[in-house]
Structure 1
Amino acid sequence: MPLFTSIYSDLLELLLPRYCSACSIVLQTSERHICLYCLYDLPLTRFEFYKNNPLYRLFWGRVMLQQATALLYFKRCGKARKIIHQLKYKGQSDLAYQMGFMLGLTIKQSHIFEVPDFIVPVPGSASKIRSRGYNQCTYIANGVADAANSHVREDLLKTGKSKSTQTRKGRYARYLNVKDGFISKAEENQEFSILIVDDVVTTGATLESCARTLQERGFSRISIAALAWTS
């Protein structure tokens, strides 16, 4: 690195320090979004190595899936919660992509998880996209697709009926809130495998509704993946 560039970079770090999204310490020049200590201390689920993992079992009797996985365990005061908060409410789209890339690597390296033909992000409502400036699930999906050598398709699933936020709703209320919340007019080869991507799974109501909508269009090979699961 040229001397001037190095000095400029160091000065920029001094004047505008970057902070770890998981623990809030100042990042080193070589670190991106998350410090090395937190990267090695993330609460990984390792679900991609187990066919009948707890997240997959969450959907038993609700919707037929090929596989299900989540990268992290979501705890009330844990690192995953802080990361999700940053990418969901603080405009950290690059962080959403980075975490999606990590999720995609776990899927690609799994011996039981099929690399999908298409990655479909959970659609965001127009009001949420206006307030946040972007749909975080799209950036997560882009990261997954790049890591897994797949393709993002935002056109296969759209929001349907207007729905309120899922926050603070119980399991049944969440289900009713998104029961008819998505639509699809896809006319695709139904042999394509699809991976639906979300940020956090709580009751699974949103992903269940998305999967049902695509299955009604004839898609049968559907899996789901999320950055975190609130176990």
Structure 2
Amino acid sequence: TSNKPPLVHHYVELIQEAAMRGVNYRFEATVMAGTPIITLLQESLLGDGIESIEGVFNGTSTFILSEMERGLTFDEALKKAQSLGIAEANPDVDIKGFDAAYKATILHDITFEPISFKKVKVRGIDGVSEEDIRKAAEKEKVIRLMAKIERRNVVVEPREVPKNSPLAVYGTSNVALIKSDLLGELILKGAGAGVKETASAVVSDIIKCVRRS
């Protein structure tokens, strides 16, 4: 599935139901579209201890902020995103930070333990002004909607990021910086949205289910 809200609000029930029925429940497409961060955390890093995950998980917000850095106002950047099909007609889930918070919650659930969405701290980009963008640029920084995931703590908020940081992505790209006790820092970057990209993750999950049935 690529549907986030049911997984966010009913993670334990869905996992238990799948186990009871003896079926696979896979949801790679819920975070970073076709970029396989969930497979990485659930399978490739099983022998490592994850300390934290930090990243940019909402391509719509990144696109809007990137366009504001080019001189557009927030409203102009949002309208451009909508005209290109990047933002929905009702963009609140993206610009208020909820989409990124859903994804961050899913990553917390699979990495550490289930956390109530009510405990997630969320602030979107709808309060970011052209002045905020300008002040960040003067310090050689950009503003991105950042998610910080630690055990029992998930925060999503706009933060200044150095322009030369791997977290300073542009367009609709997503990025995750995973810190672990054995590998140190691991960076995963890729498309965070798109029909083909999301479909790639769904098809991959279907193939895995068939192979493991």
TM-score by length of 2: 0.29
TM-score by length of 1: 0.27
| Structure ranking higher in strand proportion | 2
* Bigger Rg, structure 1 or 2: 1
Relative contact order (alpha carbons < 8 A, sep ≥ 6): 1 or 2 greater?
2
